[in-house]
Amino acid sequence: MLVTDASLHRPTVLERVRRSFDASVGSIVFGMEDGTVSIFGLVFGVAASAPDSNAVLLAGATGAAAAAVSMMAGAYLDAESANDQDAAKLEDVRQRIEQHSDAEDAEARARLLGAGYSDAEAATLLELAGRHPESRVRLTAAVELGITDATRQSPTAQAAWMFAADLVAASIPVLPFAFFDLSTARVVSVVITVMLLVVLGVGRAAIGRRRVVTTVLETLAIAAGAAVAGFAIGSLVT
């Protein structure tokens, strides 16, 4: 007799965190890049006219926190909207199958025959699908629209990862101003920010399977543009 125990297959906390991380890796990289670039520009804009490191630290920390909360909200709403769109498309498929069952059967049979199934095999598969309407709806949505349980996102997880990634990355350009005087902090901030951006560029290249050098240079160029813009505005204000 085969005995199954659901608890034996229940994922551990570490496994759930890893799966959540894997599903959110795109948001994490985007959040880190956004946090680094935006606050890097802010820091150098303020540093151009600030009297000391404390002023830059206050502005940078405030900006990092506000940006992280904003990105968190954006990630939550984006994931929620994507899930709502998929649910609406799934309902459209369900209604289409219910209202035009004969046409859907004919189309499904043609697809099966085109895939190499025999008439008998196609008839059997359609009969089995007819016994489980909801499974047929989900299978049709997966084939036609690419909608599966795996594509469903957790808004809470996406928001949490985005907040953490954005806040941590945004803190990097700011931290030197908590430990060094203004002139030294500027140099240290540039060095550690460039190091982080190189790592992010490598990560983006790995995720998108792009050329590493090109992606790293692109990432650095974006950050440089933000720093120049911030410095220019800061200089004009003084």
Q: Is the pLDDT of residue 59 over 70?
A: yes
Residue 1 token pair = 């007799």
Kindly list the distances between the CA atom of residue 187 and the CA atoms of 47, 113, 147, 169, in Å, as whole numbers in the listed order.
11, 67, 48, 17
User: Which tokens in the block code for residue 174?
Assistant: 């700011």
User: Which is higher by pLDDT, 186 or 228?
Assistant: 186
pLDDT of residue 105: 72
Measured from the Cβ of residue 29, the count of other Cβ atoms closer than 10 Å reads 19
pLDDT in tens, 1-51: 444 444 445 767 677 767 777 777 777 777 888 888 888 888 888 887 778
CA atoms within 13 A on the CB side of 9: 4
Rounded Cα distance between 38 and 222, Å, is: 10
Residue where the block lists tokens 């909200």: 73
pTM of the model: 0.71
The burial of 22, by beta-carbon neighbours within 10 Å (0-12 exposed, 13-18 middle, 19 or more buried), is given as: exposed
* Residue 126 Cα distances to 16, 91, 135, angstroms: 36, 20, 12
171 token code pair: 């803190």
Work out the widest C-alpha separation in the chain, in whole angstroms: 83
Nearest to 186 by CA among 44, 67, 83, 69: 44
Q: How confident is the model at residue 143 (pLDDT cuts 50, 70, 90)?
A: low
Query: Which has more confidence, 10 or 188?
Result: 188
Residue 58 predicted with pLDDT over 70: yes
**CA–CA dist 39, 182 (Å, integer):** 16
